[in-house]
Amino acid sequence: MSHKVAINEVELMFIGLFRVALSVPTHEERLAAIRCVRHEVTASRLHEINRKPGPDWVHDENNRELIAWLAATAGEREDAIYEFSRVCQAYDDRYERPLNVAEQVGKMVCTSIDDGKFDGVQTKDGILYQVGVQGREHSIRGSKDKDSIRKAWRDYRGVVHLGMALDFCEQLRAPFENVFFVAEWYRRMLSESCPKGTKKPYVNAEQQFSFLYESSIYGPRFLNRGLPFTVKD
């Protein structure tokens, strides 16, 4: 079973940061980075709402509990923001390229599935070979040799569907909230389809993160702006 990650309306505006969080190497690091993103979202929303409509929300009696929660979690939030800044730096320095390569592998796997070919990934003329050909033809760093592509796919195959969905929605100018449905569509394609002649799926569901939309906008606290009291995993 995949690991489920619920994202609300406010967090949707920061969905690109969740992709950055998934670029770290291990499952445990990804969970920690996602938690940091949630704190980043909280801080960003506080900054925006203090700017417009202004800081008067702190005087609303309905927001008393929220203000207490913000004060109690201020230290944790500050630490999380710092930790996520380190994740972003590592993404820029080391992780962005192999994540991009793995997402390209995922796109080509899904294209092969759609075409009814069900090409193997590591076979002689399979998906990794095809991505390598593309990399050499277009001088794409990180996707020229099969070993680098194989490692990128091994490390990121459980998370590629989010970036694939973001690209899909951007290219088609689809409503941004559709990213959840597209990501789940890709995720299921990868985990429920097998290369021709095999019974093992392209990606085991246990390796995947499943992104779910979860509304959290309810009032009256915080002027109905949907900021939750807790930061969930």
190-233 pLDDT per residue, tens? 999 999 999 999 999 999 999 988 765 543 344 444 455 556 65
The model's pTM: 0.88
Residue predicted with more confidence, 48 or 86: 86
Digit-coded pLDDT (tens) for 45-83 = 888 878 877 778 788 777 788 888 888 989 999 999 999
Length of the chain: 233
Residue 219 confidence (pLDDT)? 39
Using CA atoms, how far residue 232 sits from 32, 38, 86, in Å, is 11, 8, 21
Query: How many Å apart are CA 22 and CA 25, to the nearest integer?
Result: 8
pLDDT, tens digit (0-9, with 9 covering 90-100), for 98-123: 999 999 999 999 999 999 999 999 88
Rounded CA gap, 181 and 162, in Å? 10
- CA dist., res. 135 & res. 51, Å (int): 46
